[in-house]
């Protein structure tokens, strides 16, 4: 098995799992349908092409919450194009300031082609809603002969420099939300209806999916590579630690 | 596939203003980099762009679309325009049948029908259940089809062939604004158009806390004994240097526009015109929220346009660490940061051989951006250069 990792960061993201009407909510972390949709769009898979979507939807999915962000509410008005009359008001919720690492596990050939597609996409990626382009590139690397759990355990913490500065006690653990493996009992799992079946605009369909919540120890950046490592937010912390101000 | 993206970045300073309000009347905000920022929603700015297409005559009205539920009346007008001998009632019936054959559900709005009955007026025309976005070209095609079958419209549109023609007419030769911003029709999935452009919410590059202006208004007719104010109130506002960003999938736009609106021009011509109009309108447009209160008429201080084959890249992360105004104003530091970030991210992830960059800028504070690419002297020069390059790229066969 191989794993493709993505860094999902931007001023605004919105990952809806159940809302289609005037109250558009967001989950606290990227949904599988949202991330698979992003990959399918990059690969140029058209909305009604359920056959081409199926192998992507079959990838095992997990996401790690590196910086949870805050929810903001957007009040949205629309007016009739001709009469100017008000259309129904809607509320849209966004996650501001959030950073996630999403990962999909599956066949190497497929993941290689998706990795390439992210570098030169047919339809450019967005973070759950078209008005939310990612900040910087999303591709974070293809890990060959690796498992989903390992990658989500080892990809260095992606939180922004300001966030690390402000939270100068590094969180001990990060939350991982991942799909169960075939032989794993799902007794303690949650169910989320975000397993994509069809993105056809006429009958978008999602199946229920079991989601396990695991804490993983926060993996610290080892230095070098990656969009986040240009900053060294820990230099100051190390200095403080040397003075015995910081504990563990 | 030949992939062509256009990234448009702009830095724009707005003085005290309230471009885009939330339900409390305060300017919209977001949190980024851990501090509050001014925000103008992408929807608000997209509307300003669409309005700009029309007001600035950037595109021929025939290239634009109209978004309405009153699609039946609109089509009836076209039918009557083509054949003035058509009675209003017949035109409405022809239009209704044709609109339905094209795949849109229509119904007579109940409240208006009840009102008409009460007043003894004529029954209102059917309306579509959703806002329908059709181009002038599409309306003309549907009107001609309706007249062709005017003798017995029901039987005419019952044939598979004519029904397919109606659908095709509604699904080809989209207007430029539909091709750019998309069309969602909830019950006709096969004529949805996916937007070719992503417009990000505009965010201030610095921390912004909304302010409140307390005002009193004097009643001119008050006598000297009546000393109080005529009314009092507050208006919320902020001022900001905004980072604005949009990504346009040029190949997607070309696919949405199809063969173009006229047969006597090169295939790339509609795309070139649409791209030029988009770049012009993105730069030049401004949401008009409370514009008469604040008169916030500004233009961007700097615009950077990149034409590329690799993925679009927003530079918003350059401002995640909020700009501080220690040196007076936010613009200089914002421009310096954008220049540094854009070249950094380009070096790491871009393709210098296939990426073209243009810069349009005003004043010495934006000097550092000049090194990013070819400087354009005017907005007209910028859009023309981008349009030319787009047309060249489109004509090139995919590698």
Of the candidates A131, A124, A34, the residue with the CA atom closest to the CA atom of residue B245:
A131
Distances (CA, A) of A26 to A100, A175, B145: 14, 17, 45
Q: CA of A140: which chain B residue's CA is closest?
A: B349
Q: Which residues of B325-353 are buried (b: 16+ CB within 10 A; e: fewer)?
A: eeeeebbbbbbbbbbebbbebbeeebeee
Residue B41 has a pLDDT of 94
Give the torsion sign (CA, A95, A101, A105, A108).
positive
- Residue of A13, A42, A73, A74 best to disrupt the B interface, most CBs of B under 10 A: A74
Is the CB of residue B63 less than 8 Å from the CB of residue B273?
yes
Residue with structure tokens 């679309």?
B65
**What rounded mean pLDDT belongs to chain A?**
84
Tokens encoding A183? 């032989």
Q: Which residues of B touch A84 (CB under 8 A)?
A: none
Angle between helices B269-284 and B379-395 (to 10 degrees): 150
Residue B263 has a pLDDT of 57
Q: Which residues of A touch B65 (CB under 8 A)?
A: none
Terminal alpha carbon distance of chain A: 36
Contact state of B33 with A74 under an 8 Å Cβ cutoff:
no
Contact state of B345 with A136 under an 8 Å Cβ cutoff:
yes
Percent share of chain B, pLDDT over 90 = 52
- Cα B249 versus chain centre, distance: 15
Q: How many CB pairs under 8 A join A and B?
A: 126
Nearest-CA distance from A201 to chain B in Å? 5
Distance CA A190, CA A180 (A): 10
Q: Which residues of B touch A118 (CB under 8 A)?
A: 311
pLDDT (mean) for A61-66: 96
Give the torsion sign (CA, A67, A73, A79, A80).
positive
Distance CA B274, CA B253 (A): 8
Residue B171 has a pLDDT of 77
Reading phi first (left if > 0) and then psi (alpha if -120 to 50, else beta), residue A84 is in left
Q: Any idea of the CA torsion for B148, B150, B153, B155, to the nearest 10 degrees? A: -70
pLDDT < 50 stretches in chain B:
260-261, 399
> At residue A22, what are phi and psi to the nearest 5 degrees?
-85, -15
Of the candidates B243, B242, B241, B366, the residue with the CA atom closest to the CA atom of residue B315:
B243
Distance CA B370, CA B358 (A): 9
Distance CA A77, CA A86 (A): 7
Contact state of B33 with A160 under an 8 Å Cβ cutoff:
yes
The SS3 of residue B385 is helix
Residue with structure tokens 């919105």?
A14
pTM of the full structure: 0.79
Q: CA of B74: which chain A residue's CA is closest?
A: A82
- Residue of A135, A158, A164, A168 best to disrupt the B interface, most CBs of B under 10 A: A135
Is the CB of residue A25 less than 8 Å from the CB of residue A90?
no
Give the model confidence (pLDDT) of B220-279 as tens digits: 888 888 888 888 889 999 999 999 999 999 998 888 776 544 556 677 888 899 999 999
Q: Which residues of B touch A200 (CB under 8 A)?
A: 189
Is the CB of residue A34 less than 8 Å from the CB of residue A128?
yes
> At residue A52, what are phi and psi to the nearest 5 degrees?
-75, -25
Residue B103 has a pLDDT of 85
- The more confidently predicted of residues A128 and B266 is A128
The SS3 of residue B55 is helix
- Residue of B4, B34, B75, B348 best to disrupt the A interface, most CBs of A under 10 A: B34
Q: Provide the total of helices (H) and of strands (E) in chain A, helices listed first.
A: 6, 9
**Helix H segments across B189-268?**
250-257
Q: Which residues of B touch A82 (CB under 8 A)?
A: 66, 68, 70
Other CB atoms within 10 Å distance of the CB of residue A108 = 15
Is the CB of residue B376 less than 8 Å from the CB of residue B359?
yes
Is the CB of residue A25 less than 8 Å from the CB of residue A177?
no
Q: CA of A89: which chain B residue's CA is closest?
A: B23
Is the CB of residue A111 less than 8 Å from the CB of residue A104?
yes
The SS3 of residue A90 is strand
Bridge partner residues of A102 (DSSP)? A6, A63
Distance CA B251, CA B2 (A): 7
Task: Name the least confident of A31-45, A72-86, A163-177, B335-349.
Answer: A72-86
Q: CA of A167: which chain B residue's CA is closest?
A: B34
Contact state of B66 with A82 under an 8 Å Cβ cutoff:
yes
Tokens encoding B48? 């300003």
Is the CB of residue B17 less than 8 Å from the CB of residue B238?
yes
Q: DSSP letter string over A145-162?
A: T--HHHHHHHSPP---HH
Q: Which residues of B touch A130 (CB under 8 A)?
A: 42, 195, 198
Q: DSSP letter string over B68-101?
A: ES-HHHHHHHHHHHH-TTS-HHHHHHHHHHHHHH
Give the model confidence (pLDDT) of A200-242 as tens digits: 876 788 888 889 998 999 998 754 333 344 445 455 555 445 4
Distance CA A186, CA A193 (A): 15
Q: Which residues of A touch B69 (CB under 8 A)?
A: 80
Q: Which residues of A touch B321 (CB under 8 A)?
A: 161-162
Nearest CB to A123; choose among B29, B190, B249 = B249
Distance CA B12, CA B202 (A): 10
């Amino acid at each position: 098995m191989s794993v493709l990792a993505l860094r999902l960061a931007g001023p605004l993201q919105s990952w809806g799992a159940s809302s289609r009407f005037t109250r558009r909510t967001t989950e606290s972390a990227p949904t599988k349908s949202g991330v698979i949709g992003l990959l399918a769009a990059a690969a140029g898979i058209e909305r009604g092409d359920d056959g081409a979507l199926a192998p992507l939807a079959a990838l095992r999915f997990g996401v790690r919450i590196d910086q949870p962000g805050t929810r903001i509410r957007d009040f949205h008005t629309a007016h009739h194009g001709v009469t100017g009359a008000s259309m129904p008001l809607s509320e849209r919720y966004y996650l501001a300031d959030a950073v996630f690492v999403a990962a999909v596990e599956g066949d190497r050939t497929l993941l290689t082609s998706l990795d390439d597609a992210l570098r030169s996409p047919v339809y450019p990626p967005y973070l759950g809603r078209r008005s939310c382009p990612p900040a910087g590139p999303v591709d974070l690397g293809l890990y060959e002969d690796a498992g989903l759990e390992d990658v989500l355990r080892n990809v260095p913490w992606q939180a922004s420099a300001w966030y690390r500065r402000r939270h100068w006690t590094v969180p001990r653990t990060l939350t991982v939300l991942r799909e169960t493996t075939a032989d794993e009992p799902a007794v303690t799992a949650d169910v989320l209806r975000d397993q994509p079946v069809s993105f056809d605009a006429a009958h978008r369909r999602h199946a229920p999916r079991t989601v396990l919540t695991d804490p993983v120890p926060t993996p610290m950046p080892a230095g070098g590579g990656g969009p986040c490592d240009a900053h060294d937010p820990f230099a100051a912390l190390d200095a403080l630690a040397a003075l015995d101000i910081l504990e563990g | 596939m030949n992939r062509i993206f256009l990234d448009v970045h702009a830095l724009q300073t707005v003085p005290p203003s309230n471009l885009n309000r939330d339900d409390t009347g305060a300017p919209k905000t977001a949190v980024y980099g851990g501090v509050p920022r001014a925000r103008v929603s992408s929807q608000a700015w997209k509307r300003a762009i669409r309005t700009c297409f029309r007001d600035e005559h950037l595109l021929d009205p025939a290239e634009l679309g109209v978004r309405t539920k009153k699609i039946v009346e609109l089509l009836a007008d076209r039918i009557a325009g083509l054949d003035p001998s058509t009675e209003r009632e017949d035109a409405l019936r022809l239009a209704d049948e044709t609109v339905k054959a094209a795949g849109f559900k229509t119904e007579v709005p109940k409240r208006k029908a009840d009102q008409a009955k009460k007043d003894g007026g004529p029954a209102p025309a059917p309306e579509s259940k959703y806002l329908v976005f059709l181009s002038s070209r599409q309306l003309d095609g549907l009107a001609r089809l309706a007249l062709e079958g005017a003798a017995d419209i029901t039987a005419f549109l019952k044939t598979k062939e004519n029904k397919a023609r109606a659908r095709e007419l509604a699904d080809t030769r989209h207007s430029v604004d539909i091709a750019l911003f998309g069309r969602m029709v909830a019950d006709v999935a096969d004529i949805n158009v996916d937007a070719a452009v992503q417009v990000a919410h505009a965010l201030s590059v610095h921390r912004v806390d909304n302010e409140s202006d307390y005002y009193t208004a004097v009643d001119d007719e008050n006598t000297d004994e009546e000393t109080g104010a005529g009314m009092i109130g507050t208006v919320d506002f902020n001022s900001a240097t905004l980072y604005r960003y949009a990504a346009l999938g040029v190949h997607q736009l070309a696919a949405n526009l199809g063969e173009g609106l006229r047969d006597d021009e090169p295939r790339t011509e509609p795309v070139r015109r649409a791209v030029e109009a988009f770049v012009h309108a993105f730069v030049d447009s401004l949401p008009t929220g409370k514009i008469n209160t604040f008169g916030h008429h500004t233009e961007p201080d700097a615009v950077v346009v990149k034409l590329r084959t690799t993925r679009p890249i927003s530079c918003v992360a350059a401002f995640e660490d909020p700009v501080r105004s220690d040196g007076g104003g936010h613009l200089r530091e914002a421009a310096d940061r954008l220049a540094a970030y854009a070249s950094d991210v380009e070096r790491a992830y871009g393709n210098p051989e296939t990426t073209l960059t243009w810069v349009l800028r005003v004043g010495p504070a934006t000097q550092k951006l000049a090194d990013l690419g070819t400087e354009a002297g005017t907005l007209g020069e910028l859009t023309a250069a981008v349009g030319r390059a787009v047309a060249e790229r489109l004509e090139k066969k995919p590698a």
